[in-house]
Structure 1
Amino acid sequence: MSEQHPTTGGAWVPDACTLPTAERPLRLVEFDRFFHAALRGVDRLSPQHLRLRLVGTSQAEDEARDLTARESSCCSFFTFDLSRPGPDALTLDVRVPAAHVDVLDGLAGRARSAAGLR
């Protein structure tokens, strides 16, 4: 598939991404570390909508805001919405257009793997 980048290890890095190729592995490591530390659950609400349930710490919120802002700047097709449904929880809703569902599939799989979820 043309959207796969074997050097970065994932289908969720599409050709539409403007992040320089050399920086992509570093961004993936940042997401993996974030998912490992903060992710508590993954819900696929629709093919185009993924909800990530996160710990509610201020550190997790700051990291989520930073990562999603940087990711939005290079992959403008992502829509990220961070909310606090309770004092000890955060949710990160990730949406993509239909043309990028495979990218969302890759993100969901990578998140589950990094966090040790099934």
Structure 2
Amino acid sequence: MSSDNQAWVPEACTLPSVQRPLRLAEFDDLFATALREQQRLSPTDLRWRLDSAAETTARDLTDRESSCCSFFTFTLAADAGTLRLDVQVPAAYVDVLDALAQRAAAGLTA
């Protein structure tokens, strides 16, 4: 999925359209530089393991994302030398989580 394909971004997202490509680029950068592992725990739950050096970036990014897309729940915790980032969405937003998981997978293979 290219960063300009935003068909999966729900109407519930209040981030102005002009800023969405920039936010996607921030997630793509986090995935490319810090993502070590991705696990799908359930249809509505995703877990990422990030390089612990990315904690400040991950906290800032997830805080900003939560403020415009209130359906996301992000939980960060230190875990066995890495940073664990759990992402949860209500069932109505599984397609959004699917799209985010695809972007993360692309970052793992980049």
Band of TM-score, shorter chain:
over 0.9
Output one character per residue of 1:65-116: Cα deviation in whole Å (capped at 9) or x when no partner: 0000000000000000001012x21110000000000000000000110221
Aligned residues: 109
What is residue 32 of structure 2 aligned with on the other side? Answer: 36
Out of 39, 52, 59, the residue aligned to residue 56 of structure 1 is: 52
Output one character per residue of 1:11-63: Cα deviation in whole Å (capped at 9) or x when no partner: 54212100000000000001101110000111000000000011122xx0000
DSSP 3-state at the match of 2:60: helix
| Structure 2 unaligned spans of 5+ | none
Kindly, what percent of the aligned residue pairs are identical?
60
Q: RMSD between aligned alpha carbons? A: 1.7
Equivalent AA in structure 1 for residue 58 of structure 2: A
Structure-1 separation of matches of 2:76 and 2:19: 24
DSSP 3-state at the match of 1:99: helix
Structure-1 separation of matches of 2:6 and 2:108: 16
Q: Is the 8 A contact 1:68 1:80 kept in 2?
A: yes
**TM-score using structure 2 length:** 0.92
| Structure 1 unaligned spans of 5+ | 1-5
Structure-1 separation of matches of 2:3 and 2:57: 25
Report whether the alignment pairs 1:14 with 2:10.
yes
Moved over 3 A (4+): none
Structure-2 separation of matches of 1:90 and 1:83: 6
